[in-house]
């Protein structure tokens, strides 16, 4: 099984690749650029990207990028809408250069425009991105949300509606366990009973899982991750997910609130100890 974590690329992409195996990770996620802003993004270092790409093949690693949090593909604000599209187009280029198979982007917030409007707006954004996309082998991965504010993508029908117009190679899904739990999608008693795991139209698009415990209770509608086994999903819930044979070929990425990256080694050991 591929189990990894989110790693910083502050020292370069190749450095992040080297950091993964000592943590017990055979997969990792990274921010494509500054997660909290669009401005002052460093230009892509293609030499570093190629070095990291070669190292990933040598070390048998896979990786996904994660877009900045400010991207909102469902926003009613036209300037932010266009900037978000531009940023995602650029992120696909970055991911391709680094040999990473996907770019994760959160479902958007349509504010007071309503959920149906937000779904259509997000589809239009994705169409605009794909029309400009020049990359090959990189999939946009839509991430389900916890349901804070006006976030869409908090139910299975909404997720499937967003991605439906596109092929699974163009637009897939990244499933966050904490968001799903907080949104009421994944039950604390039986998380693997989530309907999506039994549906081909969902599973053919499921390319990544964010494996996170939850600081908040079921259906709390808040995005609050917790260390593995210390939250409301607990070891039993996390264990059920990593032992579900339907998920065995999907890379799991931890985004738990460690104080420093070295602590991910303990988190990964905990997850692997649950697998039987």
- Catalytic positions are 36, 66, 69, 106, 143, 176, 179, 210, 223, 225, 255
**Using CA atoms, how far apart are residues 33 and 94, in angstroms rounded to an integer?**
9
**Using CA atoms, how far apart are residues 101 and 67, in angstroms rounded to an integer?**
14
* Cα-based distances in Å from 61 to 135, 210, 213: 20, 17, 24
11 — phi, psi (to 5°)?
-100, 15
Three-state secondary structure string covering the chain: CCEEEECCCCCCHHHHHHHCHHHCCCEEEEECCCCCCCCCCCCCCHHHHHHHHHHHHHHCCEEEEECCCCCCCCCCCHHHHHHHHHHHHHHHHHHHHCCCCEEEEECCCCHHHCHHHHHHHHHHHHHHHHHHCCCCCCEEEEECCCCCCCCCCCCHHHHHHHHCCCCCCCEEEEEEHHHHHHCCCCCCCCHHHCHHHHCHHHHCCEEEEEECEECCCCCCCCCCEECCCCCCCHHHHHHHHHCCHHHCCCCEEECCCCCCHHHHHHHHHHHHHHCC
Yes or no: say if 3 and 271 are a contact pair by the CB < 8 Å rule.
yes
Both tokens assigned to 275: 């697998």
């Amino acid at each position: 099984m591929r189990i990894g974590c989110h790693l910083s690329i502050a020292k370069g992409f190749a450095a992040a690749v080297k950091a993964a195996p000592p943590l017990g990770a055979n997969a990792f996620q990274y921010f494509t650029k500054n997660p909290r802003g669009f401005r002052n993004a460093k230009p892509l270092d293609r030499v570093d990207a190629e070095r990291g790409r070669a190292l990933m093949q040598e070390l048998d690693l896979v990786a996904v990028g994660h877009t900045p949090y400010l991207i909102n593909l469902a926003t009613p604000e036209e300037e932010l809408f266009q900037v978000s599209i531009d940023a995602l187009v650029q992120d696909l280029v970055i991911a391709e250069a680094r040999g990473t198979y996907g770019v994760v982007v959160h479902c958007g917030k349509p504010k007071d425009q309503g959920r149906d409007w937000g779904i259509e707006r997000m589809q239009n954004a994705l169409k605009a991105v794909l029309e400009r996309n020049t990359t090959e082998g990189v999939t946009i991965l839509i991430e389900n949300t916890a349901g804070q504010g006006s976030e869409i993508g908090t139910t299975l029908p909404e997720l499937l509606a967003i991605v439906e117009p596109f092929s699974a190679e163009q637009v897939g899904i990244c499933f966050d366990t904490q968001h799903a739990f907080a949104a009421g999608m994944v039950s604390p008693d039986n998380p693997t009973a989530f309907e999506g795991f039994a549906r081909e139209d969902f599973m053919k698009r499921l390319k990544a899982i964010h494996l996170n415990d939850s600081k908040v209770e079921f259906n709390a509608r808040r995005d609050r991750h917790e260390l593995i086994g210390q939250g409301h999903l607990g070891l039993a819930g996390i264990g059920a997910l990593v032992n579900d044979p339907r998920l065995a070929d999907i890379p799991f990425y931890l985004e738990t609130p460690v104080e420093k990256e070295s602590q991910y080694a303990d988190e990964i050991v905990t997850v692997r100890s649950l697998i039987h």
